[in-house]
Chain A
């Protein structure tokens, strides 16, 4: 091994699954893996995510089968059975959710029949295969939400016209997830839309249980949460749209119009809501004018963020704040089709055409160095590290 990662930008599939589970209310995750997985992931999900805290039963509270040599050699199914038995006796939860680590998947432990045994006894319990090698945190989020959509969300033919589910805002990878989801919910409610955000303030598991009633899923990402939306489409017949994270007037007005158009909401209402929000927004933003002009604050902006944030942020800095979008550095590792999708967004900017570069598994430092010396002399610039402390 020639390189190591000291402060990783993301974590493994198991980590994503735990992020998605510990941020839900009243869920007790159960880890079938060795002891270190849960502990180091929990540290990362707290300290790397703006001190998000451990939630209802996260952090060091997560029950773990703590498999050692014995289980690796002779199999760990008895051990996880024992752990589920103990956990369901001792810890109260609306939902238990077993997730697995690399080592038990490599030895072929089959958790599902064990979990089904408990489910048949009436325990609210689910399981998903989430070994780290399957992908990264984003994969883990997708797997957990897909499992919930498949097995927890109640199937219904009756749809509520103005109810939507919000997907793609990944708890803890997006450290602002709670605040973001609350604002989305507030804005949509002004259009008469009820939004299930699953992870926002005051959300309950019941909202998730009845998410099948929604008539639309809104994925706030071009890349992540799409699989979940597909599952909802296949199983619950709910169509989906994707949208960029709406930041500031430009992004938010676009977002609200897109959603309203899809749900066929009265354009007059939409205009009125946007006008009201704009009046509030600009009454504050207007105060920046003197500073902007007097201090010559039109600067060059660089955004280094994951693909959910990079474009929305740079658009805000450019189209709302009037700075010059200079460079977008996309930090997550993407497939080719995703890469093209993300790159094409940037042509939507009203002003300026930033350079867009993507991260590579290795040699990132070299890229930075080269760019640094080639692109910047003594110009004013802003380096904006955002939304990606993981």
Chain B
């Protein structure tokens, strides 16, 4: 805004706008921050837009756990070092712990979301949202990069996030009934066999009680044992691999 004021020679008018907007927006922002306190988010987006969403969410007091950013070349867009939005975001708002570049393969995303379990997933591109939704993570798609622009933009965003939290029943319910092409591996006992069936995990039974396999000479120690475990794990995994 101040840069605009300098160029257009309207410094005073701009300062007035800034002051009045601060008066209007800051109390509301404080309200939103209170409501969003303790919430966590994960983002998938292109480079600069992704960095901007990180800054915006942090401004709202949301903890950004991580981001899958599609590429990384801070000065590629116009060759100007000042366009390095990532470093300015990190400088102003702090580090993002699970920030990755180009980890947009579905299996990578599913693994990350499963590990981090964020309260919300915000995606810039269609197709990415399905993984959040399938895992029961409230998710929205934000294709419009102008949506969070300016003073009103941050309020819009806060409202959008809160609206998503308002009703998460559909997502939670669908997650219970949706299928995933990814499976878990359980190294456990016969007690885990019902659980394995329920969550469609691959199960290698190797601790007592063992009632579903016969053990004669099989041992899992040493080099041969290591090869045997590998054989047995892959035996289970390949059995259900489609």
Chain A residues close to B by CB (< 8 Å): 51, 284-285, 287-288, 291
Please name the residue on chain A nearest to B234 by beta carbon: A51
B214 touches A288 (CB 8 A): yes
Given A51-B238, A285-B216, A288-B216, 6 further pairs, Cβ under 8 A: A51-B234, A284-B216, A284-B217, A287-B216, A288-B214, A291-B214
- Which residues of chain A come closer than 8 Å to B238, judged between CB atoms? 51
Complex Cα–Cα for A284 and B216 (A): 6
Chain B residues lying within 8 Å of A285, measured Cβ to Cβ, are: 216
Sample of 9 A–B contacts (CB below 8 Å): A51-B234, A51-B238, A284-B216, A284-B217, A285-B216, A287-B216, A288-B214, A288-B216, A291-B214
Chain B residues within CB distance 8 Å of chain A: 214, 216-217, 234, 238
A50 to chain B, nearest CB (A): 9
Bound-state CA distance A259–B90 (Å) is 76
Count of A-B contacts judged by CB separation below 8 Å: 9
C-alpha spacing A234/B216, complex, angstroms: 45
Who on chain B is nearest to A288 by CB? B214
Please name all residues of chain B whose beta carbon is closer than 8 Å to the beta carbon of A284 when the two chains form the complex: 216-217
Q: How far is the CB of B213 from chain A (nearest CB, A)?
A: 11
Closest to B235 in A: A50
Chain A residues, CB < 8 A from B216: 284-285, 287-288
List residues of chain A with CB within 8 A of the CB of B234. 51
Chain B residue with minimal CB distance to A291? Answer: B214
CB distance from A170 to the nearest CB of B (A): 21
Q: Bound state CA distance, A291 and B216, in angstroms?
A: 13
By a CB distance below 8 angstroms, the chain B residues around A288 are 214, 216
Residues of B within 8 A of A51 (CB): 234, 238
Distance of B112 from chain A, by nearest CB (Å): 28
> In the bound complex, how far is the Cα of B224 from the Cα of A224, in angstroms?
31
Q: How far is the CA of A284 from the CA of B219 in the complex (A)?
A: 13
- Cβ contacts under 8 Å, A291 to chain B: 214
Cα A284 to Cα B217 in complex, Å, equals 7
**B215 nearest in chain A by CB position:** A287
Q: Which residues of A contact B214 (CB under 8 A)?
A: 288, 291
B218 to chain A, nearest CB (A): 10
